[in-house]
Amino acid sequence: MPTTTPTTATGDAARYAFVPGSPPYPTIVSSQGCYLITSDGRRILDGAGGAIVGNIGWGRTEVAEAAAAVMPIGYVVPLWPTPSRLALREELVEHWLPDGFGHVFFTSGGSESTDSAIRLARAYQVGKGRDSRWKVIGRHPSYHGMTTGTMAVASHAARQRGYEPLLLPFPKVPWDDPEQVLKVIEQEDPATIAGFIAEPITGAAGACLTASDEYWQVVTDACRQHDILLIADEVMTGYGRTGRKFGHQHFPLQPDVIVGGKGLGGGYVPLGAVAVRDEVAQALVGSGFMYFTFSGNDAACAAGAKVLEIMRREQLVERAASQGAVLGRRLHAEFDDHPAVAEVRGRGMFYGLEIHCSRDAVVMAALERDLWVYPAGSGPVADAVMVAPPFVVSDSEVEQLVETLREAIDAVFKG
């Protein structure tokens, strides 16, 4: 992949942080494949695809060209079709979404998508004449975004602390205990429950916690039995990250709503999508389900359609599975017996290391060594880092990633 033409940084990087006292990060002026290139010429191996976003790698000029080609059209109200919107919807329905998911609502990212799914669960139940249903069940631990609705439905102590008065009291179930799921549904009364939202494999809140097949079967059956809308939050796990098109496809988990963001735009554009089964969409008739001003931004849709086309052309979902297995083997070999590592878990290009030392210190120690890994953990998972590189990562880059992460963890653990 070509190195992108370096841009020139003119502003003061030290004054960039919104919150004073945030750690200093390098200024990125170009990129290539799995590398971010800094203003002083360092090549940082992007071991987490940014925020677990970059799947096709960096420097894909054809994505930029696709967006640039439609940008001069300007703004079109989201209810009106454009060639890019139609192309992206077609690509999703024909090549990505499971059968029966023919209705797609575009957003500008993960939080807008999950928040829309919460609203949608309510609208679905109201549309069916069940006005008493409003609760959306979430899981401990979980993360669904930074709107007040998505914060309320999640369980991520560090990101919720202080905001409690703003958050609706949505019920929570453990991530791994099917009996508790049934108990909470009964205690809360199914006649008050609109939806159930779950990350098929927990993202940054739990660093790849993976529930059993039995758990997902119980969740799916209970949702079906009570007509609770089952929402799969595939913002991290979707679009190939786990080695299948969607994370839920590893389990007997059958969602009614599939929520995506991050990898859908490959990291090049802010783009999200909420896809529903046709019968769910039917219940929304007359609900006035509202869009966002930038739902289906034309350039974002054009870029997203190109990202998905590249994924298919280069068989990158398959590569996430095969090269992800290489990554997984190396991580297990290096860290299974490491005294600072509690567990290595994950699949595809989506791995979490739960650790016995400060994750922020490890992230910074890795960055000093020109490697980026993603900080993770909340509640029962105190400290963790995530390893989730672009799917194009090579054998030698996997080697560099694992060796550098080892050096970083050793440096922090030995102190």
Ligand X SMILES: Cc1ncc(COP(=O)(O)O)c(C=O)c1O
Distance CA 334, CA 324 (A): 15
Q: Which of residues 37-76 bind ligand X (CB under 6 A)?
A: 51
Q: Which residues fall within 8 angstroms of residue 227, CB to CB, at 6 or more apart? A: 128
Candidates 286, 322, 264, 319; CA nearest to 92 is: 264
Q: Pick from 221, 210, 279: which is nearest to 248 by CA?
A: 210
Q: Is 233 in the site for ligand X (CB under 6 A)?
A: yes
Among 144, 277, 306, 359, binds ligand X (CB under 6 A): 144
Stretch that binds ligand X, among 38-46, 138-146, 241-249, 355-363 (CB under 6 A): 138-146
CB of 292 to ligand X, least distance (A): 12
Which C-beta is closer to ligand X: that of 30 or that of 107? 107
| Site track for ligand X across 320-339, x = CB under 6 A | --------------------
In the bound state with ligand X, the residue whose beta carbon lies nearer, of 161 and 414, is 161
To the nearest whole angstrom, how small is the minimum distance from the Cβ of residue 353 to ligand X? 17
Give CA 271 to chain center in angstroms: 12
Binding residues for ligand X, how many (CB under 6 A)?
15
Among 36, 194, 230, 235, contact with ligand X (rule: CB under 6 A)? 235
Compare residues 59 and 138 and give the one whose CB is closer to ligand X.
138
Distances (CA, A) of 341 to 1, 188, 331, 353: 34, 38, 11, 7
User: What's the closest the beta carbon of residue 112 comes to ligand X, in angstroms?
Assistant: 7
* DSSP class of 246: S
Residue 9 or residue 17: which is nearer to ligand X going by CB? Answer: 17
Applying CB under 6 A, which of residues 110, 240, 324, 348 lies at the interface with ligand X?
A: 110
Decide if 410 contacts 83 (C-beta within 8 A): no
Strands 374-378 and 341-347: unpaired
Among 104, 121, 236, 363, binds ligand X (CB under 6 A): 236
Nearer to ligand X, 231 or 402 (CB): 231
Q: Which among 1, 85, 62 has a CA at the least distance from the CA of 36? A: 1
Interactions with ligand X, residue window 159-188 (CB under 6 A): none
Helices (H), ranges, 336-394: 359-368
Binding range to ligand X, per CB under 6 A, among 155-163, 171-179, 230-238, 383-391: 230-238
With H, G, I as helix, E, B as strand and everything else as coil, classify residue 139.
strand
C-beta closer to ligand X: residue 33 or 54: 54
Among 114, 254, 295, 378, binds ligand X (CB under 6 A): 114
DSSP, res 94: I
Q: What is the CA 352 to chain-centroid distance, rounded?
A: 14
Q: Which residue is nearest to ligand X (CB)?
A: 110
Structure tokens at 332: 């297990």
For residues 136-158, one letter each, b for 16 or more C-beta atoms within 10 angstroms of the residue's C-beta and e for the rest, the string is bbbbbbbbbbbeebbbbbbbbee
What three-state secondary structure class fits 210? coil
CA angle at 225 for the pair 222 and 231, rounded to the nearest 5°: 55
Tell which one of 47, 59, 78, 109 touches ligand X (CB under 6 A): 109
Q: How far is the CB of 130 from ligand X (least distance, A)?
A: 26
DSSP 253-276: ---SEEEE-GGGGTTTS--EEEEE
By CB under 6 A, is residue 256 in contact with ligand X? no
Q: Is 138 an interacting residue with respect to ligand X (CB under 6 A)?
A: no
Residue 259: strand pairing partners:
233, 274
With tokens 């859908």, the residue in question is 264
* 111 binding ligand X? (CB under 6 A): yes
Least distance (Å) between residue 396 CB and ligand X: 29
Distance between CA 370 and CA 376 in Å, rounded? 19
Q: Give the binding range for ligand X (CB under 6 A) out of 103-111, 190-198, 352-360, 391-399.
A: 103-111
Min dist. Cβ of residue 257 to ligand X (A): 13
Q: Which of residues 185-214 bind ligand X (CB under 6 A)?
A: 199, 203-204
By C-alpha distance, which of 277, 259, 313 is closest to 119? 259
261 lines the binding site for ligand X (CB under 6 A): yes
List of residues contacting ligand X (CB under 6 A): 51, 109-111, 114, 143-145, 199, 203-204, 233, 235-236, 261
